[in-house]
Amino acid sequence: MTAPVFRFAPSPNGELHLGHALSALTNQDMAARVGGRLLLRIEDIDVTRCTPEFEAAIRSDLAWLGIAFEEPVRRQSEHFALYEQALEQLKADELVYPAFMSRGDIRAAIIAHEASGQSWPRDPDGAPLYPGADKHLSARERRRRIDAGTPFAWRLDTAQALSRLQAPLSWREWTSEDMATTTEIAADPRQWGDVVIARREIPTSYHVSVVVDDALQGISHVVRGKDLYFATSLQRLLQQLLGLAQPSYFHHRLVLGPDGRKLSKSQRDTGLAALRQAGETPATVKAMLGF
Ligand code: GLU
């Protein structure tokens, strides 16, 4: 039997905070428990916000915490051509469409709808679903707009995608970090509506690159925060559409700030660098997180 494979996949668009430390340590812990391998993946497809400095800081914080990863480390910005192949497959299967509505167009459509007293559906992150007014444009009109340089993003036709499935979608979730039992969770990609699959400036998206890489790297266990729990529904759909293997999942608790909200990269006091500077040791940081 091949060894289980885990990964910690930060985006170098800011400094690591306690929430990231919990994620990396949980991965390390669970991998050790089952004799698994541990990979680091740098998710830097957003080349405007990700920097080599943040990546270097992430690697130094992880080394300071005493977490070792296998080399070489995969950097997503070096593999755009591969993610584009996934997009091409979805295009060939007629599961994506060029969506031309700008943010302003979307806002206007929602305001018009909500003026009638009905609320517009939102995704699990609170963003309004794409109205999809341009989903049924003719091939000719699409071509005309694209040739005219109209900005657009490739969006998944989620209803169409779901209609192609043979069986209901679900995923296997570990019920705790001791990996004794799993439970089968029904996936509900519909709650995300027609998500962006690729943009002109970034020819992929988080969801596409994450499923492509998880499969390519043979990830057997995806261990990450509960903030990505609902994203799993969509990622399971993409795995199915692209014919990719499905890992099992564990979504761990989130570290909350003093205000009871999820930590963000802009909250400097819980940043690992700030804690290091304040004289905390890896042992005290781990103790803060229950390790
Ligand atoms: N890159 C994502 C983040 O930093 C995590 C991706 C994942 O674990 O699936 O939020």
pLDDT, one tens digit per residue, over 170-186 is 999 999 999 999 999 99
pLDDT of residue 272: 94
Residue 146 CA to residue 136 CA, distance in Å, equals 15
Whether this prediction's pTM lies above 0.85 is answered by: yes
Residue 43 alpha carbon, nearest atom of ligand 1: 1
Q: Which of 224, 226, 227 to mutate to test the pocket of ligand 1 (most atoms within 8 A of CB)?
A: 224
Q: What is the pLDDT of residue 161?
A: 98
CB 173 within 8 A of CB 182: yes
State whether residue 188 is helix, strand or coil: coil
Give 109-141 pLDDT, tens digit per residue.
999 999 999 999 999 999 999 999 899 999 999
Beta bridge partners of 7: 39
Residues within 6 Å of ligand 1 by CB: 9-11, 43, 210, 224, 228
CA distance 247 to 219: 6
- List the domain boundaries for the chain: 1-78+256-291, 80-208
Q: Omega before 121 cis (within 30°)?
A: no
Q: Judge whether 204 and 80 are in contact, CB under 8 Å.
A: yes
Domain range 1-78+256-291, its CATH number among 3.60.9.10, 3.40.50.620, 3.40.50.300, 3.30.1360.120 = 3.40.50.620
Q: pLDDT band for position 269 (50/70/90)?
A: low
152 and 99 Cβ atoms separated by less than 8 Å:
yes
Run of H or E residues at 108: helix 103-114
φ, ψ for residue 9 (rounded to 5)?
Answer: -130, 70
Residue 149, both tokens? 């340089």
Residue 265: pLDDT band with limits 50, 70, 90 = low
Q: What is the mean pLDDT of the chain?
A: 95
What proportion of the chain, given as a percentage, has pLDDT over 90?
Answer: 92
Integer-rounded Cα radius of gyration of the chain: 20
Residue whose CA is at the smallest distance from ligand 1 atom 2 = 10
- Return d(Cα 13, Cα 15) in angstroms, integer: 7
**CA-225 nearest atom, ligand 1:** 8
Predicted confidence (pLDDT) per residue in 191-231, tens digit: 999 999 999 889 999 999 999 999 999 999 999 999 999 99
Among 64-78, 119-133, 250-264, 276-290, which stretch is predicted with the lowest mean pLDDT?
A: 250-264
Residue at token pair 């069986």: 167
Residue with CA closest to ligand 1 atom 3: 10
pLDDT, residue 266, reads 61
pLDDT digits (tens, 9 = 90+) for 19-40: 999 999 999 999 999 999 999 9
- Choosing among 3.40.50.920, 3.40.50.720, 3.90.800.10, 1.20.990.10, the CATH entry for 80-208 is 3.90.800.10
- Reference 61, options 252, 249, 274; nearest CA is 274
